[in-house]
Structure 1
Amino acid sequence: MFKLTKKNEADINLKVWHSKREVGKLEIDPIHIIIKNPKDPIRVKQYPIPLEGRKGLKQVIDDLLKGRTIEPCMSPHNTPILAVKKADGSYQLVQDLRAVNARTRIRFPVVANPYTLLNQLTPKDVWYSVIDQKNAFWTCPLDEKSRDYFAFQWEDPDTNKKQQLRWTVLPQGFVESPNLFGQALEHLLTQFTPKEETKLLQYVDDLLIARSSKKSVRECTVELLNFIRAKSLKVSKSKLQFTL
C-alpha cells in the first residue's frame, strides 16, 4: 500500500475530507418513500437504553441536529434506536428499521454485481485506488412526507426529557438506501470522464480506479476527489487506499 504524496495532497481540495460535523449533500430531488398501508402507523416501542449508552449518544445526537441530518418531530410512526459501543469506546447510533423495511414498497434494485465489475479489470491493471465515501446515504435528502416514517424516541441523559426525532436524509439500515444512493451517484459520475484507459468502477458508495500506470492512477484519483468535492460529497481520508 502507498499513500498520497505531499504534492498529491496539495492538489486536493481539503474540504473533500470528512469531519464529524459535516455531511455532504447531493443536489437531487428529495426522495419519496412508498409505504404499504400508509394510514396504518408503524409503531415499535423504544428499547431501554442504559444511562451510559444515552450519554455516549448525546454528542452524536447533538451533532446530527446541528447538521440538520435529524430534526424534532411529532410523528405517528416510531421505531427504536440502540446505542452500540465501538472498539474505541465511543457510541454509534443504530436504528432498528426492520418494521419500516417490511412495510416498504421496494423499487427494483439496480445494484451492480461485484464479480461482474471486477471482471472489467485486466491483468495489466495492477495499480489501483479505493475511495470510501463517508456517510454516503446521508447525502440524499428525504421529502417532507417520507421523514415521519423514520422517527424515533430520544431521552436526553442530562434532562431526562423525551422527544421524537426523525431523519431528513436516507438513514443507515433502510432497505432502499444502497439502491437509491447508488443510482444517484451513478448518474452523477456520468459527468466525470477518466483519462485514457483508466477504469472507474462503482459499487454502491465505493469507487475503484485502476490502470497499469501508478502515475495515471494517482492523477485520476486526485481529479476524482476534486470532482467529488465540487459535488458537495465527503470522503474518508483514513480509508483512502492506493494499493499494488
Structure 2
Amino acid sequence: MELERKFMKNLEMDLTHRIILIEPTKSTYRRQYKLSYSEKQELNKQVDELLKQGFIKPSSSPFNSPVLFVKKKDGSMRMCVDYRLLNNNTVKDKFPIPRIDELITCFGGASVFSKLDLMSGYFQVRIAENDMEKTAFSTDYGHYEWVVMPFGLTNAPSTFQRMMNRILAPYLNQFVQVYLDDIIIYSKTVEEHY
C-alpha cells in the first residue's frame, strides 16, 4: 500500500509537453509531401484511428508539417510527421537523457533483471493546450493537431525522460533504471526481485 501511495503521489504532477518557439511570431508551414495511393489509404486509416482514440483533433492552425511513412520491421507502415522546420524554431530542452554505459554501472552485483517496454509511451503525455496548434499536419481530407505527444518533436525525449524520472524517483538507483520508455528492474537474487 505504501508503494502504491508513493507512486500515485508522483503521478499528481503537470505532465504536459511544451513547445517554446525561438521566434514566437513565426509559424512554420510546409506543404504535404506527395504520397502514393497506398500511403494515402494508410494515412486516412491511421488518422481515423487516432481521432477515435482522442490522440488528435481537427485543427485550423496556421502551422503545418508534412506526413511521410516509414516501413516497420513487420512490413506495416508507421506514420511520421516531419517536424524539422518546427524543431529548428524550438528552444531545446536540456533535460539529461541517461547514457547507457552509465546506467549499466548502476546494476552493481545484480543478476536478475526484468525489462519493461512501455507501449505508446509518448501518447501518455498531453501537449500543452496552447502548443497543440504547433503540431498540426494535413491530409487530403483535413487538418489535424496532436492532443498527445507524437514522435518527432525535438524535446519529446527530454519530456518523456523527465516524466519517467519523476514517476520512478523513489526507486531510481535502488532497483530501477529508466531510459526513455525502457524500464529495467534489477536485483541480486530472485527472492529480492519478487
Q: Fold-level match, TM-score > 0.5?
A: yes
Aligned to 1:6: none
Q: Is the 8 A contact 1:56 1:83 kept in 2?
A: no
Aligned to 1:151: 136
Q: Distance in 1 between matches of 2:152 and 2:145?
A: 14
Structure number with the bigger relative contact order (C-alpha 8 A, sep ≥ 6) is 1
Q: Is the 8 A contact 1:31 1:141 kept in 2?
A: yes
Aligned to 2:192: 216
Aligned residue identity for 2:105: N
1:131 to 88, 108, 116: 116
**What are the residue-to-residue correspondences of 1:17-36 with 2, within 5 Å?**
28-29=13-14, 30-36=16-22
In the alignment, structure 1 residue 166 sits paired with structure 2 residue 177: no
4+ runs deviating over 6 angstroms? none
> Percent same amino acid at aligned positions?
26
The Cα of 1:27 is off from its aligned counterpart by 5.5
The Cα of 1:213 is off from its aligned counterpart by 1.5
In the alignment, structure 1 residue 94 sits paired with structure 2 residue 80: yes
Aligned to 2:7: none
Which residues of structure 2 form unaligned runs of 5+? 1-10
The Cα of 1:111 is off from its aligned counterpart by 1.8
Q: Distance in 2 between matches of 1:27 and 1:134?
A: 21
Q: Distance in 2 between matches of 1:33 and 1:87?
A: 31
Q: Distance in 1 between matches of 2:83 and 2:113?
A: 36
Q: Distance in 2 between matches of 1:101 and 1:28?
A: 26
Which residues of structure 1 form unaligned runs of 5+? 1-25, 156-161, 220-244
Aligned to 1:207: 183
TM-score normalised by L of structure 1? 0.69
**What are the residue-to-residue correspondences of 1:1-244 with 2, within 5 Å?**
28-29=13-14, 30-122=16-108, 124-155=109-140, 162-190=141-169, 193=171, 199-217=175-193, 219=194
Q: Is the 8 A contact 1:54 1:83 kept in 2?
A: no
Q: Is the 8 A contact 1:56 1:90 kept in 2?
A: no
Q: Distance in 2 between matches of 1:143 and 1:189?
A: 22
The Cα of 1:198 is off from its aligned counterpart by 6.1
Q: Distance in 1 between matches of 2:59 and 2:12?
A: 24
Q: Distance in 2 between matches of 1:174 and 1:82?
A: 15
Q: Is the 8 A contact 1:57 1:91 kept in 2?
A: no
Q: Distance in 2 between matches of 1:172 and 1:70?
A: 13
TM-score normalised by L of structure 2? 0.86
Aligned residue identity for 1:187: R
The Cα of 1:103 is off from its aligned counterpart by 0.5
**How many residues were matched structurally?**
183
